[in-house]
Amino acid sequence: MLAKTDCSLPTPKLSAILDKYKKSPGSLLEILREAQAINGYLSREILQLIAEEVGVPESKVYGVATFYSLFKTAPTGRYIIRICESAPCHIRGAQDVLAAIEKTLAIKPGETTPDGKFTLEFTSCLGLCGVAPAMMINDQVFGNLTGDRVREIINSF
Protein backbone atom coordinates (compact mmCIF):
# COMPACT_ATOMS: atom_id res chain seq x y z
CA MET A 1 0.00 0.00 0.00
CA LEU A 2 1.25 3.44 -0.85
CA ALA A 3 1.53 5.63 2.20
CA LYS A 4 -0.52 8.82 2.18
CA THR A 5 1.41 11.57 0.41
CA ASP A 6 2.90 14.19 2.66
CA CYS A 7 1.87 17.73 1.75
CA SER A 8 5.26 19.04 2.78
CA LEU A 9 8.12 16.66 2.37
CA PRO A 10 10.68 17.57 5.02
CA THR A 11 13.48 17.95 2.49
CA PRO A 12 15.71 20.36 4.43
CA LYS A 13 15.69 18.18 7.54
CA LEU A 14 16.24 15.05 5.51
CA SER A 15 19.10 16.66 3.58
CA ALA A 16 20.80 17.53 6.84
CA ILE A 17 20.55 13.92 7.96
CA LEU A 18 21.83 12.59 4.64
CA ASP A 19 24.72 15.07 4.71
CA LYS A 20 25.69 13.99 8.19
CA TYR A 21 26.12 10.36 7.12
CA LYS A 22 27.48 10.98 3.63
CA LYS A 23 30.94 9.85 4.54
CA SER A 24 29.98 6.88 6.71
CA PRO A 25 29.12 3.84 4.65
CA GLY A 26 26.73 1.40 6.25
CA SER A 27 24.72 4.10 8.00
CA LEU A 28 21.37 3.24 6.48
CA LEU A 29 19.90 2.25 9.85
CA GLU A 30 21.00 5.54 11.41
CA ILE A 31 19.59 7.50 8.47
CA LEU A 32 16.26 5.67 8.69
CA ARG A 33 16.07 6.14 12.46
CA GLU A 34 16.63 9.88 12.24
CA ALA A 35 14.40 10.27 9.19
CA GLN A 36 11.62 8.46 11.01
CA ALA A 37 11.90 10.92 13.88
CA ILE A 38 10.78 13.73 11.55
CA ASN A 39 7.25 12.45 10.91
CA GLY A 40 7.01 9.41 13.11
CA TYR A 41 7.15 7.02 10.16
CA LEU A 42 8.96 6.45 6.88
CA SER A 43 6.72 7.36 3.98
CA ARG A 44 7.24 6.01 0.49
CA GLU A 45 8.51 9.44 -0.63
CA ILE A 46 11.07 9.60 2.16
CA LEU A 47 12.32 6.10 1.33
CA GLN A 48 12.61 7.11 -2.35
CA LEU A 49 14.59 10.22 -1.47
CA ILE A 50 16.92 8.27 0.79
CA ALA A 51 17.49 5.65 -1.91
CA GLU A 52 18.33 8.33 -4.49
CA GLU A 53 20.72 10.17 -2.20
CA VAL A 54 22.47 7.11 -0.83
CA GLY A 55 22.67 5.64 -4.32
CA VAL A 56 20.99 2.29 -3.68
CA PRO A 57 17.81 0.78 -5.15
CA GLU A 58 14.58 1.77 -3.45
CA SER A 59 13.87 -1.93 -2.94
CA LYS A 60 16.93 -2.20 -0.74
CA VAL A 61 15.88 0.76 1.44
CA TYR A 62 12.35 -0.62 1.67
CA GLY A 63 13.74 -4.06 2.52
CA VAL A 64 15.77 -2.68 5.40
CA ALA A 65 12.95 -0.45 6.65
CA THR A 66 10.55 -3.38 6.84
CA PHE A 67 13.04 -5.82 8.36
CA TYR A 68 13.44 -4.04 11.70
CA SER A 69 10.51 -3.75 14.04
CA LEU A 70 11.39 -0.25 15.25
CA PHE A 71 10.92 1.18 11.74
CA LYS A 72 7.42 2.07 10.58
CA THR A 73 6.38 2.48 6.95
CA ALA A 74 2.85 3.62 7.76
CA PRO A 75 1.56 6.21 10.23
CA THR A 76 1.18 4.98 13.79
CA GLY A 77 -0.41 6.37 16.90
CA ARG A 78 1.43 9.07 18.81
CA TYR A 79 2.24 6.51 21.45
CA ILE A 80 3.36 3.02 20.50
CA ILE A 81 2.66 0.49 23.22
CA ARG A 82 5.07 -2.43 22.85
CA ILE A 83 4.03 -5.29 25.05
CA CYS A 84 6.32 -8.22 25.71
CA GLU A 85 4.81 -11.67 25.41
CA SER A 86 8.09 -13.59 25.55
CA ALA A 87 8.22 -16.67 27.77
CA PRO A 88 9.28 -14.91 31.01
CA CYS A 89 6.47 -12.35 30.71
CA HIS A 90 4.05 -15.08 29.60
CA ILE A 91 4.80 -17.08 32.75
CA ARG A 92 4.16 -13.98 34.88
CA GLY A 93 0.78 -13.18 33.39
CA ALA A 94 1.41 -11.02 30.31
CA GLN A 95 -1.81 -12.31 28.75
CA ASP A 96 -3.91 -10.66 31.46
CA VAL A 97 -2.05 -7.40 30.89
CA LEU A 98 -2.63 -7.66 27.16
CA ALA A 99 -6.32 -8.36 27.72
CA ALA A 100 -6.58 -5.27 29.94
CA ILE A 101 -4.94 -3.08 27.29
CA GLU A 102 -7.14 -4.50 24.54
CA LYS A 103 -10.22 -3.81 26.64
CA THR A 104 -9.18 -0.30 27.72
CA LEU A 105 -8.29 0.85 24.20
CA ALA A 106 -10.63 -1.44 22.26
CA ILE A 107 -7.86 -2.41 19.84
CA LYS A 108 -5.89 -5.56 19.09
CA PRO A 109 -2.14 -5.86 18.53
CA GLY A 110 -1.24 -4.25 15.21
CA GLU A 111 -4.07 -1.71 15.45
CA THR A 112 -4.28 2.00 16.26
CA THR A 113 -7.01 3.75 18.23
CA PRO A 114 -9.38 5.79 16.03
CA ASP A 115 -8.15 9.04 17.61
CA GLY A 116 -4.61 8.20 16.49
CA LYS A 117 -3.26 8.27 20.03
CA PHE A 118 -2.17 4.68 20.68
CA THR A 119 -0.80 1.86 18.56
CA LEU A 120 -0.55 -1.55 20.19
CA GLU A 121 2.04 -4.10 19.15
CA PHE A 122 4.09 -7.00 20.43
CA THR A 123 7.78 -6.63 21.09
CA SER A 124 10.50 -9.20 21.52
CA CYS A 125 12.03 -9.57 24.99
CA LEU A 126 12.85 -6.16 26.47
CA GLY A 127 15.36 -7.53 28.98
CA LEU A 128 13.13 -6.41 31.85
CA CYS A 129 12.39 -9.97 32.94
CA GLY A 130 13.36 -9.18 36.54
CA VAL A 131 10.23 -7.06 36.70
CA ALA A 132 8.02 -9.06 34.29
CA PRO A 133 5.49 -8.55 32.78
CA ALA A 134 6.91 -5.51 31.03
CA MET A 135 6.16 -3.09 28.19
CA MET A 136 7.43 0.08 26.57
CA ILE A 137 5.45 3.15 25.56
CA ASN A 138 7.61 5.04 23.06
CA ASP A 139 10.97 5.28 24.90
CA GLN A 140 9.61 4.77 28.39
CA VAL A 141 9.76 1.34 30.04
CA PHE A 142 7.29 -0.14 32.53
CA GLY A 143 7.52 -3.29 34.66
CA ASN A 144 5.58 -5.36 37.22
CA LEU A 145 2.40 -4.80 35.26
CA THR A 146 -1.05 -5.93 36.28
CA GLY A 147 -4.39 -5.28 34.64
CA ASP A 148 -5.09 -2.41 37.04
CA ARG A 149 -1.68 -0.82 36.75
CA VAL A 150 -1.67 -0.90 32.97
CA ARG A 151 -5.06 0.85 32.91
CA GLU A 152 -3.67 3.56 35.20
CA ILE A 153 -0.59 3.98 33.02
CA ILE A 154 -2.60 4.26 29.81
CA ASN A 155 -4.95 6.79 31.40
CA SER A 156 -1.98 8.89 32.43
CA PHE A 157 -1.02 9.49 28.79
Partner 1 sequence: MAIYRSHVLVCGGTPCLLKGARTIRDLFQQEIDRYQMTDEIRVVETGCLGPCDEGPVVIIYPEGVMYSRLQPADVPKIVENHLYKGRVVEELIYKEGKAGREQSGPPGVTLEGEKYLDRQKRVVLRNCGRINPDSIEEYIANHGYKALGKALTELRPEEVVQMVIDSKLQGRGGAGFPTGLKWSFTAKTQADRKYIVCNADEGEPGTFKDRLIMEGDPHSIIEGMAIAGYAVGAEEGIIYIRGEYQLSIERMARAIRQANQYGLLGKDIFGSGFNFQIQIRSGAGAYICGEETALLESLEGNRGEPRVKPPYPGVAGLWGKPTVVNNVETLANIAPIILNGPAWFRSIGTESCPGTKVFTMLGDINNQGLIEVPMGITLREIVYEIGGGIPGGKGFKMAQTGGTSGGCLPMEYLDLPMDYDTLAKAGSALGSGAMLIIDDTHCIVDVLKNFMRFFCHESCGKCTPCREGNPRLYEILTALSAGTATQAQIQLMKDLARTMQLTALCGLGQSAPNSLMTCLRFYADEIAEHLNGECPTGVCKSLATKSEAV
**Positions in the binding site for partner 1 (CB under 8 A):** 25-30, 32-33, 60, 63-64, 67-71, 85-88, 90-92, 122-132, 136, 139, 141-144
Side-chain half-sphere exposure of 3, counting CA atoms within 13 A = 19
- Looking at the Cβ atoms of 114 and 127, the one nearer to partner 1 is 127
Q: Which helix (H) or strand (E) holds 78?
A: none
For residue 118, give the DSSP letter: E
- Looking at the Cβ atoms of 139 and 148, the one nearer to partner 1 is 139
Rg over alpha carbons for the chain, rounded to the nearest Å, is: 18
Closest among 69, 79, 42, 70 to 58, alpha carbons compared: 42
Q: Which helix (H) or strand (E) holds 132?
A: none
The minimum distance between CB 26 and partner 1, in angstroms, equals 4
The minimum distance between CB 28 and partner 1, in angstroms, equals 3
The minimum distance between CB 42 and partner 1, in angstroms, equals 11
- Looking at the Cβ atoms of 106 and 124, the one nearer to partner 1 is 124
